[in-house]
Structure 1
Amino acid sequence: MSSDKEVTGRHPSPVQKLWRIVVGSVSPALLWPRLQLAVKAALAAGIAFYIAPFMPGSAADYPYYAPLGALVAMYENVSGSMRQGAQTLVGLAIGIGLAFMLFSLGGPSPVTVAIVMGLGVILAGLPRIGSGSDWIPTAALLVLLVGGHNPDEFSFGYLVQMGAGVTVGIVVNLLVFPPLHFKAAALSIAELRLALARQLEDMGKALKENWPPEHEDWSRRSDALAASARSVRLAVEKADASRKANPRRRLHPRDVDLDYRNLRDLERITFHIQDVTQVLSDVIWATDTPFVIPDEDTAPLAGAMAAVGDILRSIEEDPPEQAELTAAADAALTDLTARIAAREVATDSASAAESILLSLHRMLRVIKSAHA
């Protein structure tokens, strides 16, 4: 019976697979940032539709465009709302102007619709319009087809209501708990730093094992580390964007410039660790590499890797020990450098340990410069 359970655990049923797919697809939409954005979008759309009948002149006849404008302006941060709302209105204005130019060719027909679409798509390629580019052909087509015999009133109402909705959306996003993504950025930086420390520690352990080592998962993490570094950059950029035009930044100050500096340092360290991972993997498993790591270098090299990894870990877990750990790592690298240099003078040979040692020196230099 136990073996049957183990097999069942390894091979989930189609229903279980479908359930996991559904849960994995739906769960991101139920996270608090998305729910918060949904609540604000609903509030903005409701307010925009409420005030839409009070718009001047013929604009009051087109109230349904106000909640659309509110939805368009709803973005994950305030500066994004302002930028997206302004770009949308610019795109609408260009599209409406295009439609009026084409009214000189006559009423709606397959020819005028085709011309509107073609020119609209061309104008959508104008620089710095951003999200407003999609609205150029849309607005032109709506004015041409929906505006009918009274395009002036429709265009006025369309643009005014969309402008009112965009304004409401921006105001709601500005006043109703505008999000700051500082915590996510700090957490992602910490997670990457610890992941890099673990990679160094695991490679140090591999050096001490009988080769080929039993644990080789570290050799497959290079791409994952690069992906993590890219995710950290996105998180820091998102945090930076969330503070712009955000009144809450005064209550929750954060040095985002320091986050960028930490990010750049971690990206450099990630590059060097990827290089060490590749060199060590080639030495252990590749059959066509001419380089080796002498047995007498494995223990001190493992110690040097662990020492650099300890510094990275201490930055997150125990900052007071950084000075001592940095001194210990510096001493380990200096001792190993002298050991390898002395052997090269005696034997006139080189090993892969030199490449790894150079990368460790570069990592330590980055860490020391960041905390000088």
Structure 2
Amino acid sequence: MKTTGSTDPLLGSRVHIAVKAAVAAAVAWQVGNLVPPPVGDYAYYAPLGAVLAVHPSVAASLRDSAHLFTALVMGASVGAGFHLLPVPGWAAIGLLVLVAVLLGGWDRLGDQRSWVITAALFTYILGNIDTSDFVSGLVGQVAIGAAIGFTLMLLLPPVPVRVSVKRLENVADLVADQLDALADALVTTRDDEGAPWHDLPHEVQPEALRLRESYAALDDALRGNLRAGRWRAVVAQQRRTADVIERVADLAENLTFMISEVQQSDGPWLRPGGDAARTVADTLHDLAAVVRTLARDQQVAAADAATVTRSVERVSALVAQSLDRGEEAFPGAAVVVSLRRILGALPVTEGAEPPPGIRPLSAPAWPPGRRRRSPGR
């Protein structure tokens, strides 16, 4: 089964980030060389600050620039302080690393914590001739570069909507493929009955979680973004669709594992290729088509919702008949519940009657722990 590939939530916007980082570094180098000595003697640190300040979002750029500046000041202070201690070099290095690593554990520094130890070592080793000049050059030039990088981000802020949309469509296709594969297995008869069920189930949730992270990154990209106004409604709609796809992915994965495990057990629920199996398979194919459409149209047409509803009702009737005949129908009841939960999560076009499924109590949200009420509650 195909996956969405990289775990990078904004994969695809990296080309834009790379171009901005290159421009910011070039400008920072030019500006850094215009600064008079002693700060100007360390112009090679300006491109470093510029590159580190370029991020997928304005908010992240500002946040990391502040963290970077703080970490550099802390590290440079440690390195400069150890120049004043009358201890051998090897002992000073050891103690310096100990102190810098402990200071780097401050949570407020975020991903820039490693620059505490870097700045401390640079200051102690490279700044042994004129420590004050080195510290002012390092901190000053990195600050200049970071300011240039942040300014570029502020003037040309990214809104990686297409990246998130692509991941949304990919995850929806994964879910639909899972449902189609399950349907095909139900109508296919094989000599080795256990073989298809062993290979069929695949975990979809990891990809769904990456989808959630992608939209969390997109939300972050809108903070402080001068172009955010025109995109907020679009992103909000896509976020609602992503929530539905994530829920359906969870239910579809559970449904696939459940049917596969039951079918390969000593008491399978359905006879592959039989009428009952074909009824369930048709329903799964209908659901797969709706999931693919949902990711691209952001809603389900009334006619498609009605088709899926009729399919689910046929499966429900099938299970009810088996109960009337006194047959064991626990797997069938579980399948019907899963199908109705998927049905209840589907958003239909405005004005259309919602499918008679089991509505979710709440919609998924990011970060975990924050729950949004579902529509109508």
TM-score bracket, normalised by the shorter chain, equals 0.7 to 0.9
- The two structures have a TM-score, normalised by structure 2, of 0.78
2:171 is equivalent to residue 192 of structure 1: yes
Q: Which residue is equivalent to 2:269?
A: 292
Q: Are the counterparts in 2 of residues 108 and 144 from structure 1 also a CA contact under 8 Å?
A: no
Deviation at 1:138, TM superposition (A): 1.3
How far apart are the structure 2 equivalents of 1:45 and 1:202?
50
2:212 is equivalent to residue 236 of structure 1: no
Please give the secondary structure, in 2, of the residue aligned with 1:62.
helix
Deviation at 1:359, TM superposition (A): 1.1
* Greater mean deviation of Cα atoms: 31-40 or 116-125: 31-40
Q: Which residue is equivalent to 2:50?
A: 70
2:94 is equivalent to residue 114 of structure 1: yes
Q: Which residue is equivalent to 1:38?
A: 18
How far apart are the structure 2 equivalents of 1:371 and 1:303?
29
**Structure 1: which amino acid aligns with 2:115?**
W
Q: Runs of 5+ in structure 2 lacking a partner?
A: 348-358, 360-373
**Structure 1 pair 351/252, CA: closer, same or farther in 2 (3 Å)?**
closer
2:225 is equivalent to residue 246 of structure 1: yes
Q: Are the counterparts in 2 of residues 178 and 246 from structure 1 also a CA contact under 8 Å?
A: yes
Q: Deviations over 1:76-122 (max 9, x none)?
A: 33322222221111101111222233334137711111111111111
Q: Deviations over 1:113-146 (max 9, x none)?
A: 1111111111111112013211111111222222
Q: Are the counterparts in 2 of residues 199 and 218 from structure 1 also a CA contact under 8 Å?
A: no
- The two structures have a TM-score, normalised by structure 1, of 0.79
Identical columns (%): 24
Q: Runs of 5+ in structure 1 lacking a partner?
A: 1-23
Q: Are the counterparts in 2 of residues 197 and 308 from structure 1 also a CA contact under 8 Å?
A: yes
* Greater mean deviation of Cα atoms: 327-336 or 108-117: 327-336
Aligned partner of 1:329 among 296, 308, 321: 308
Please give the secondary structure, in 2, of the residue aligned with 1:179.
coil
**Structure 1 pair 76/108, CA: closer, same or farther in 2 (3 Å)?**
farther
Deviation at 1:168, TM superposition (A): 0.9
**Structure 1 pair 333/90, CA: closer, same or farther in 2 (3 Å)?**
same
How far apart are the structure 2 equivalents of 1:279 and 1:47?
58
How far apart are the structure 2 equivalents of 1:233 and 1:179?
19
Aligned partner of 2:111 among 125, 131, 135: 131
Q: Which residue is equivalent to 2:184?
A: 205
How far apart are the structure 1 equivalents of 2:313 and 2:182?
20
User: 4+ runs of 1 displaced by more than 6 Å?
Assistant: 216-219, 317-321
Aligned partner of 2:235 among 245, 250, 256: 256
Q: Which residue is equivalent to 1:279?
A: 258
How far apart are the structure 1 equivalents of 2:283 and 2:48?
60
Structure with max Cα Rg: 1
Q: Which residue is equivalent to 2:142?
A: 162
Q: Deviations over 1:181-234 (max 9, x none)?
A: 1012122212322332343233233323335699x8797464353343233223
Deviation at 1:252, TM superposition (A): 4.6
Higher helix share: 1
**Structure 1 pair 318/39, CA: closer, same or farther in 2 (3 Å)?**
closer
